[in-house]
Structure 1
């Protein structure tokens, strides 16, 4: 009898622990239809906010910019619940991902991230094909990064600053917007090389946004 109870417990426990969560995956326009989903037993309810800050640097070095927000909800592994940023000089991505552990607890949107103050670290970034420009890192961006994606049959590489969690090999694949990219990180000022690239940043931005929306 005890063996039967044990077997039933093993079979039924995952179902008892599974959560029902809201799911909302945005399309290319940024809108989505919210539904509910039964999540796997080893996941939580998650809600992500990914903010793109596009920065225009004028010839007189004055900066201006626009931003775009992508919000999504769904089932999430614990490793996906992070706050991080990656800054490529002309575009900075702020990722705020939170998780909760009760049914339909992800009803609200994740809060938008905010740009922190410079932390004293410097990395190279690419202005067009020139990657010898220096960038002041912000907040917890304690690594220099080089990121490469394939676009239109060509590889596009950009450089900048990143939070440690962006560079973690165990978590990179789980973070929205990073899946599919080749990432190289290092510590130390200006450690990410000043070598130039041969393709435009525009070839990088479009697939990056697609990776965010469909990861």
Structure 2
């Protein structure tokens, strides 16, 4: 009986996992689709796009594909006034279904919520939140050993530790999110310069 059980386990077909396209951008921002079997049944096929803007000008537009967990299939933005980074995604559950890139961000408009922003010397300026940005954010970055504060608007999903930790440039050190107009208190600080020299340009999610 034990022998039969052992043979049964050995001969059972391997649980089928999803096969997806994987595409990780190189330094130039381009990539080539490769087929990859996902590690487990908990994954979906995903396409992700990260678009960065300075005012109305698009600074970068990076697309990638991967085996994605549900929490990686997000739509949201981080808005510091001088720069705004928008993440869009498209996830699906069938074989190689992520052949198309994630959609481009739609045009966003002010939603009535207001947060403090930093403008070089102080963080007492007003930023009108856009789209689904329903939280105010305050975070500290380390630029050449000097701590600088950044304040602005964020979508709720961007406030989670697992999401913000994947942003570049040290964003997320001392991160805090809150709800309510101007809840990210105005504190005088040297800020804003980082946004001019190192805008948020990518979001790396490697499965």
Return the TM-score normalized by structure 1. Answer: 0.80
Task: Write out aligned runs for 1:93-132 (5 A).
Answer: 93-132=85-124
Mean CA deviation greater in 71-80 or 175-184: 175-184
Distance 1:134 1:101 in 2: 42
Task: Write out aligned runs for 1:53-202 (5 A).
Answer: 53-55=53-55, 64-169=56-161, 171-173=163-165, 181-182=172-173, 183-202=175-194
Gaps of 5+ in 2: none
Q: CA RMSD in A?
A: 2.8
Q: Name the SS for the 2:45 alignment partner.
A: strand
- Which of 11, 14, 20 pairs up with 1:12? 14
Q: Name the SS for the 1:165 alignment partner.
A: helix
Mean CA deviation greater in 184-193 or 163-172: 163-172
Number of aligned residue pairs? 202
Q: Is the helix fraction higher in 1 or 2?
A: 1
The alpha-carbon deviation at position 32 of structure 1 amounts to 1.8
Distance 1:169 1:152 in 2: 24
The alpha-carbon deviation at position 176 of structure 1 amounts to 5.5
CA contact (8 A) 1:45 1:104 kept: yes
Distance 2:7 2:119 in 1: 65
Q: In the superposition, relative to structure 1, how do residues 100 and 113 fare at CA in structure 2: closer, same or farther (>3 Å)? A: same
The alpha-carbon deviation at position 114 of structure 1 amounts to 2.0
